[in-house]
Chain A
Amino acid sequence: MSRNTSQRKMIMRVLAGAGFLAGIASVPAAAQETVQVMDKGDVAWMMIATILVLFMIVPGLALFYGGLVRTKNMLSVLMQCTMIAAMVMVIWVVYGYSMAFGGGTGAYWGGLGKVFLAGVTPDSMAATFTDGVVIPEYLFIAFQMTFAAITPALIVGAFAERIKFSAVMLFSALWVTVVYFPVAHMVWDASGLIFNIGALDFAGGTVVHINAGIAALIGALMIGPRIGYGRDMMAPHSMTLTLVGAGILWVGWFGFNAGSNLEANGGATLAMINTFTATAGAILAWAGLEAVLRGKASMLGAASGMISGLVAVTPAAGSIGPVGAIVLGAIASGVCYYFVAVVKARFDYDDSLDVFGIHGIGGIVGAIGTGIFTSPALGGMGGEDFSIASQVVIQAKAVGITVIWCAIGSAVLFKLVDLVLGLRVDVEAERLGLDVSSHGESAYHS
């Protein structure tokens, strides 16, 4: 069991990692021939990684977002995150897993072979990056389920404080079906379109963050700004909760990134240290820029930098080095800062919690940056023949496909939901706040 992986093997692993589910369909067949080993250390690690991603959703993301809205809309945000996650978990079991990883060999989806998790038992195993090393398929299903559950919840930040609760639920159900499951298949399945162009996406930069960011932008544009946007005080009702949420997101993100390695080995620890250093670099960069440009470093800046860095390192975590990660994080953070504080102000849309500005922009910087910092010349794990130029082109293609698929899909779905249910609550309800008007509750009493 002593390790002797060469750098060359490492980059191959990473490439394999991008489509780590490749092996599942063939497992039953392959099982006849090779010995499959399930290591309890891997199982222990992947269980905790799965739990960590749930922790990111409730209470992590819920608090990060919730703290940023006004008191009167707090519960609506918590509710949306919770309900979307629960709904997508049920959908995942019913047909989502099958659409993404059902064993079908189409370029766009995995077929319906595993609806209702047909045929999966506690003995079913799923392949990892390493030949012959497997983990229980239930565990793989659960781990991937948490990714599917968090992604639509990320989007809600774009139209917080004004969307109808029924609309957000219907949109999310449609969106995971039309956008998320196909893109997950395209990126991570061996038969998937984007996988086959050779894109690197270790832990879901395209599938999760760019996807969510683009849908958020479309949503913000189509739903329109909040009443009083740009005039009324709309400062975060609790920066404390936002920091708590951001901290939980950081903690949980190790499940995301180091968990995407599927095994508890040196590769996972590389993803882990990168998830530390990229984030640290990004925090310092955002706060540093503010200190220089505004004279004051803000806590929301530090938290925003934190998330930018985490987003950017997501696709890169398994293939870059820890010093490269500091630089990648810092760059992504700077770009997001510039976008959120300068560019956004020039346009007239209200992406209330900057989902596009941080997840979309940060995700794109991360995807491109992965093509750069994986280079061994920059301390990355790429092989000797790694070419930054050609990998960047591939990464850009992956981004392009995701953006187009997601933008069109999301626009159609928002329109559809608008026709069926209407997207916005009425003016009185928005003034009163969604907590009371949509849920009949208030967040705080004395």
Chain B
Amino acid sequence: MQSLAGYSPAFLKELYRKMVLIRRFEERAAELRSLGYIPGFLHPYIGQEAVAVGACAALGSHDYITSTHRGHGHILARGGDPRYMYAELFARRDGYNRAKGGSLHIANIELGIIGANGIVGGGIPIAVGAGLALKQARQIAVHRPDDPRARRANGVAVTFFGDGASNQGAFHESLNLAALWRLPVIFVCENNLYGEFTPQHKHQPIRDIATRASSYAIPGLIADGNDVLDVYRVVSKAAEDARKGRGPALVECKTYRHRGHYEGDMGQYRPAEEVAFWLEADPIKNYRRLLLAGTVCSEEELQALDEAVEQELEEAVAFAKASPHPAPEEALEDVFVESYGGRALL
């Protein structure tokens, strides 16, 4: 665990609030799914909150992320609004994706969220492209400072993905490309020890995925993925370097998912002691203890934050429940920007 020295109380409390927001968002989503409000898959992020929150705390408003099938945490950490997220999960018209995407595809470019992704590894090359656009923005800033894209001149892209994804070809190709072109991309691998039901040692012959960085001559860093401040520290440093034009880094965050791979999976393939160990290492519980041990805030303040989260989610659920269902014919919209008179293209 990190020392709290040097961080403002507001910042530290915000980290806490975000983690609780994610935890409770996911717990409620699971409940809502069992009640029939959510028709599709859910891959809960519970247990990994410190990664999304720590990493996104290092980002500013001209930075971008790509996410995964386990994306709610990243999206909330990056500023996603639980109202539009629940509305999307409920398949309602006010959802971020107007009910066309669902959990696997929530995106909002304005917030810097290029999208969750249903394809394991699918978001990684896209982040490289974002890095390319960000690098270009530096040129634009010099030559055409009025172009709105010039504002991104200092931007970085963060791509989240799992241990399982680190075996995909896209991972390798993307790191090579980003390293070669010194793009401002941080590759954040959340090693939660499983790809679906398969433990890490059965899907790759290494323990530390960070070692794969050496194949691209870039830094390979390891963070305690259950320690929000450690993640913040490591990603901040990598982002700082990237903003300075020093190129990408691979950051492995060691963590664990508390639940099954998706809602419905009980996760029995995991040894009880392992689960117990990691429940003990709960990122929120421990961070809460740390905050209380310091002089940053009181139990009451944290309870107030907890309650505010509860309140926010209560309202978000109500918002989603009140949101209209899409009209069936909306299925025909949004394939292309134009309608081409509807049928001609459809």
Please say whether chains A and B are actual partners in one complex: no
- Chain B interfacial positions (CB closer than 8 Å to A): none
